[in-house]
Amino acid sequence: MAKLEDLDFIFEMEKRIFNQPWTKESIQNELNKSNNTLNIIAEINEKIIGYFFSHIFGKEVHILNLVIDIPFQHKGFGKIFLNRIIKEHLKDVNIFLEVKRTNLPAINLYLSFGFQEINIRKEYYSDGEDAIEMVKKVSNYVLV
Ligand SMILES: CC(C)(COP(=O)(O)OP(=O)(O)OC[C@H]1O[C@@H](n2cnc3c(N)ncnc32)[C@H](O)[C@@H]1OP(=O)(O)O)[C@@H](O)C(=O)NCCC(=O)NCCS
């Protein structure tokens, strides 16, 4: 789980990765929330290489952020990290997220996990870019 002491690492990574990063205060607020959040860090040899922030409302989870730090991207870590999070924490819930329409690495990652595109939100981001809304529903199929 992500802790308040991880704040500086997460904020530095956030600034490296995004043109419009979350503020330090907004990350701190998320880390301070004790209810309805699932915030997890990815570590290699006790070094933080990524993070995942989400809100949970009953059977619905909303992914706020999923990041793998630049030197560790495209090596399979995002896939391993998301797979572990879903298996350990999100097996029986519907998962929602928004992703920039141009963010192909992330969109491809989510598609490979069975997320489906359900909506386009025009000019959703402050830089004017559209968001694709995606969902991964709990499977209704039961093997008999
Ligand atoms: C999106 C992100 C978490 C993926 O993590 P990663 O460790 O780089 O991804 P992986 O190496 O595990 O690749 C997993 C899948 O993502 C997709 N992917 C990864 N890099 C890609 C690229 N450059 N172009 C297209 N698809 C790509 C592929 O589908 C890949 O599966 P494959 O290797 O079987 O083809 C990472 O790139 C990242 O932190 N990006 C910046 C932050 C961000 O945009 N987060 C999403 C916010 S919603």
Mean pLDDT on 90-97: 94
How many Å lie between the centroid of ligand 1 and the Cα of residue 95?
18
Residue-range domain boundaries for the chain? 4-136
Higher-pLDDT residue of 102, 34? 102
In CATH terms, the superfamily for domain 4-136 is Gcn5-related N-acetyltransferase (GNAT) (3.40.630.30)
Residue 141 has pLDDT above 80, yes or no: no
Q: Determine the Cα–Cα distance for residues 79 and 74; give it in Å rounded to an integer.
A: 9
- In this structure, of 19-23, 104-108, 135-139, the range with the lowest mean pLDDT score is 135-139
Give the model's pLDDT for residue 144. 62
Q: Whose CA is nearest to atom 5 of ligand 1?
A: 78
Query: Hey, which of 18, 49, 77, 109 would you mutate to test ligand 1's pocket, going by the most ligand atoms within 8 Å of its Cβ?
Result: 109
Residue 142 has pLDDT above 80, yes or no: no
pTM of the predicted structure, to 2 decimals: 0.94
- Return the ligand 1 atom nearest residue 63 CA: 48
Helices (H), strands (E): how many in the chain? 4, 6
**How far, CA to CA in Å, does 61 sit from each of 23, 53, 109?**
22, 10, 18
Give the model's pLDDT for residue 49. 98
- Return the ligand 1 atom nearest residue 80 CA: 12
Query: Hey, which of 44, 64, 79, 103 would you mutate to test ligand 1's pocket, going by the most ligand atoms within 8 Å of its Cβ?
Result: 79
